[in-house]
Structure 1
Amino acid sequence: MRVLDLFAGAGGLSEGFIQEEFEVIAKIEKSKPACETLITRNCYHLLKNSVDSYQYENYIKGIIDKNTLISYAKKYGFDENTIINLEIGENTIDLAIKKIKGLLKDSTLDGIIGGPPCQAYSLIGRSTNEKKKKNDKRIYLYEYYIKFLEEFNPKFFIFENVKGLLSYKDIDNKPLLPKIIEAFQNCGYRIDHKLLDASKFGVPQKRERLFIYGYKHEDIEFFRRFEEEYSKENSNITINQLFSDLPKIKSGQKYSQFEYTLASTKYLNNTEIRPENWTTLTQHFSRPNNKNDLEIYKLVATSKQHGVNILYSDLPKRLIKHNNTESFLDRFKALNGNSISHTIVAHIAKDGHYYIHPDSKQNRSISVREAARIQTFPDTFYFETSRTASFTQIGNAVPPLLARKLANKIRAIHQ
């Protein structure tokens, strides 16, 4: 089945569909670093079962460059036109549609997946966004999603966004979600929507996101059936177990040996986070921190091990550098090593204060690879182009494990 990924980011959603053997004919994304990640991932999928599979590992180890990697992937059908670096908007929508038609040729599109940027709807920063609501074009990006539905008339679509969309009000001070649903219905789709918590479907993270499923056949109560089938698969994995095979590193240290310290685990194998026979560890590095932050990290992580969350106002006065000690008091937060993670968001690209490693001896925020694992990205997944860009891509993504289960259920319905 052929699908198109809109607002693709690093491709977490499409990764799940690819794992379920959907053909993702194209991914459209405005971020250049994310598009570089998508290109690299395309190369991986094309090479992984070939005699040249080792060339992918050569690339992520820095032995060959990107152009050389692509040259090998072209032997197996790599097409640079399938990754479209384009910001979807009024001036580009016609071009985007034309590009997709060119890729489809005479074939049809079975599905559209993706969700527009969520910052406008987010509960975080809502008061700030209220002030610029009249000129915030992000609010109505869903209208371009609808243009793709009207043009290609796929059998189904999956639209993903933040929990805040449930309560968001537009410039007329009216709930936006009913308007979005009505617009989808006017395209000829039945609609089912649900707030899904990824932790109920095997993802080691408390992560609530809104999913809208559109379809054209009889009423199937998609999300009720999806939850009945998969919600029994709650992850029993803990963060300590998730990280157990990764080398211990310090703040600012980049682990460059490409080796795991322990064998893989059943959970890592079953979820394909660390696929069987995969031996190359990359991007296990954390950001550097100043002395003051490291003292705070150690206090916060040590206290968390004893079940205590330290507020910013509780810190020793010599460590308090911000004037604001009345709000955002949980600005430093350690992961609970004996449980799952709290939600990974794109803010991790700015600092790691909210994602302190549970091991106080390592005294750092989590690495790129650890953040990727919390999101269930496979260790084979390589994020371009910098540490900051990698964290942004990871924080914005749909967990591939959740995406795969959605794809599995959709495939069963439509085939």
Structure 2
Amino acid sequence: MTKPIHVVDLFAGPGGLGEGFSSIRRPDGSRQFQTLVSVEREPAAHRTLTLRAFYRLLHDSGMGMSAYYDYLQGGEHPSERADVQHLWEQASEEALCLELGSEDGNRSLEGRLREELTGCDNWVLIGGPPCQAYSVVGRVRNRGNKHYRPEEDKRHFLYREYLNVIAKFRPAVFVMENVRGMLTSRVGKDRIFGQILEDLRHPAKATGPEGPESSVPSSDGYTIFSLEDDRVYFPRTTGLFDSPDPLEEDEYNSFVIKAEEHGIPQARHRVILVGVRDDIVTRVGAPAMASSLQMPRTDDDRQLTVAQVLAELPPLRSGLSRHDSDEAWYAAIRRVATKVAEELQRHHSEHIKQDVRKRIAAELLEIAKGPHKGLNRRHEPKAEPRPVGPTTELEKWYHGAQSPNVNGLWYNHEARSHMEEDLARYLYCATFAKVVKHSPIGTKEIYLESLAPEHANWKSGKFADRFKVVLEGQPSKTITSHISKDGHYFIHYDPRQCRSLTVREAARLQTFPDDYYFEGNRTEQYVQVGNAVPPLLARRIAVKVMEVLDRAQEKEVEQAQAMQA
């Protein structure tokens, strides 16, 4: 049996990229890619990463999954069980809690990679350096700090830690993910993206150190490919030693993947760079490789919607920030629904037609008459018989390793608590979206005085668009780590539940399987989900990487046979 291809995952977060690569199996059931090392500095995300590594090892061991699911339902931690302790130790060796960029972190990682990758040419590096310095929101925040200097912000250069690993250990392929803002981020007057491409083309030249002894000259570099446009790759040459044609800045957008066009229920737009070592590119040919790396797109009418992936989750009620109980929550819903409905009928709006206001008011009064009964704050996972198991590929993906004869056990599915004032805003916004089919636009459509937050600049613009509904009939807006703050930007589409998204709902929109458990407190869980690469998108990228490596191997065999003939 052929050995799996080793994967090293840097800045791994909770492991979205690694999950996608690890999910691909050969016809004999073995894994095509095997994570050798994953690195994350945040303790909660590292615990999630380690637990998922254990999950995969347990799944492949043939011992059954009870040690994992027992823990998720309140049982012993795997590290405390004698029967699986050896697997937990292996998982702990795979998932490292290190801070890249620190002297200790870099030394520990380099020592481990030198030990594991000696003599290994065809391995894959994946990961996404932290993006706060590149993101548009982060840059706006930085402009408000008169002492901020981009050239002094170490986060701009964390990609160099990723680059160092490429330079020293020369993976066959690397996959680097980051926010779209990377394309326009500047240090001084220069766009940083062009320099990133140039550095990734010749990592050893950019970082200085020479890699370990290898049959491949260290002077050889990488070609950086787009997954969206086979005409865009860097360098674009007719031969390896020609001067490269420069990429135009308007071609940079070809490195952006729009997740909703690739079967992900979320409009998440991210830069994905795939670098292939030049000895492999030479074997296949750059144009042919660029063509083989193109990811198939989903037609607009086949794009997944929010409701398609959230509707089967158990409905929940939000909580009250003070004195929460079922009775108190239902009373609050009746109170705010009636109040907002009456105000809508009394107060004219130049932006909302009268008949629309009447329809929204009628929906609110209907909710006031009969709130959704029997809602819990938290879903308690409980195995129940399932008459028909998952049938579609997506259903199977979400179901994970759970028994097909058991209903989905949803973890991390617990609603937040909200102030009564926010319940009124969420109820109005979700009802508005249900009637009008779009989320209300700032102060134009959230115009009632009773719904205005106590922000001095609510009407001036800075906070005017802070309440948004995740619409049921469309792919979701981008799930970001900001969901950990207050949930205002991620209001559930069902007004009767009157709440923001749970961690599990956000995770589903990110395409994490339902048995992917997030460690840490709820805020830490939200951050992990928001920062992750959607695993199903990562799987589709991994398929293209696998095809490239397979094609390169075929070419190598053909060339060897031709030399012998």
Q: Secondary structure at the match of 2:418?
A: coil
| 1:19 aligns to 2:6 (yes or no) | no
Deviation for aligned residue 1:66:
4.5
> SS of the counterpart of 2:125?
strand
Q: Partners in 1 of 2:267 and 2:384 — Cα distance?
A: 26
**CA-CA distance at 1:268 after TM superposition:** 6.5
Q: Secondary structure at the match of 1:124?
A: helix
Q: Determine whether 1:369 maps to 2:504.
A: yes
Aligned to 1:280: 409
> Which has the greater radius of gyration?
2
Q: Distance in 2 between matches of 1:93 and 1:270?
A: 40
Unaligned regions of 5+ residues in structure 1, if any?
none
Measure, in 2, the Cα distance between the counterparts of 1:55 and 1:4.
26
**Per-residue deviation at 1:101?**
2.2
Alignment-derived partner of residue 475 in structure 2: 340
Counterpart residue type for residue 101 of structure 2: G
Residue 311 (structure 1) aligned with residue 436 (structure 2):
no
With a CA cutoff of 8 Å and minimum separation of 6, indicate the structure with the bigger relative contact order.
1
Worse overlay, 93-102 or 242-251: 93-102
Give the whole-Å Cα distance in 2 for the aligned partners of 1:159 and 1:212.
5
Q: Provide closer, same or farther for how the CA distance between residues 358 and 266 of structure 1 changes in structure 2, counting only shifts above 3 A.
A: farther
CA distance in 2, matches of 1:364, 1:144: 40
* Map of 1:255 onto structure 2: 379
Q: Aligned AA for 1:200? A: E
- Equivalent pair of 1:197/1:207 in contact (CA under 8 Å): yes
Q: TM (normalized to structure 1)?
A: 0.93
- The alignment status of 1:379 with 2:503, answered yes or no, reads no
Q: Does residue 63 of structure 1 match 2:196?
A: no
Change beyond 3 A, Cα 1:150–1:134 = closer
Q: Mean alpha-carbon deviation: is it higher for 27-36 or for 240-249?
A: 240-249
- 1:82–1:308 distance in 2 versus 1, CA, 3 Å: closer
* Residue 175 of structure 2 is aligned to residue 158 of structure 1: yes
SS of equivalent to 2:17: helix
Q: Which of the numbers 393, 405, 423 marks the counterpart of 1:294? A: 423
537, 549, 561: which one aligns with 1:414: 549
Distance 2:40 2:47 in 1: 10
Please report how far the alpha carbon of residue 120 of structure 1 lies from its aligned counterpart in structure 2 after TM superposition: 0.3
Q: Structure 1 residues 166, 40: CA separation in 2 closer, same or farther (over 3 Å shift)?
A: same
**TM-align CA RMSD:** 2.4
Q: Deviations over 1:300-325 (max 9, x none)?
A: 00001122432342342123221112
Distance 1:272 1:146, change over 3 A: same
Task: Establish whether residue 239 from structure 1 lines up as the match of residue 325 from structure 2.
Answer: no
Aligned to 1:81: 93
Correspondence 1:144-223 to 2 at 5 A: 144-170=161-187, 172-187=188-203, 188-193=221-226, 194-216=255-277, 217=281, 218-220=285-287
Stretch moving more, 214-223 or 145-154: 214-223
Q: Give the letter aligned to residue 288 of structure 1.
A: S
Do residues 323 (structure 1) and 456 (structure 2) align?
yes
Count of equivalent residues: 414
Partner Cα distance (1:36, 1:46) in 2: 15
Contact kept, 8 Å, 1:70 with 1:78, in 2: the verdict is no
AA aligned opposite 1:240: A
- Pair 1:228–1:210, CA change in 2 (3 A): closer
> Which one is further off, 269-278 or 390-399?
269-278
1:38 match: 49
Q: Secondary structure of 1:160's match?
A: strand
Q: Does the 8 Å contact 2:262/2:296 carry over to 1?
A: no
How many angstroms does 1:270 deviate by? Answer: 4.8
Secondary structure of the residue that 2:38 maps to in structure 1? strand
Displacement of 1:94 in angstroms is 2.6
* Residue 124 (structure 2) aligns with: 111
Q: 1:52 to 1:210 in 2, by over 3 A?
A: same
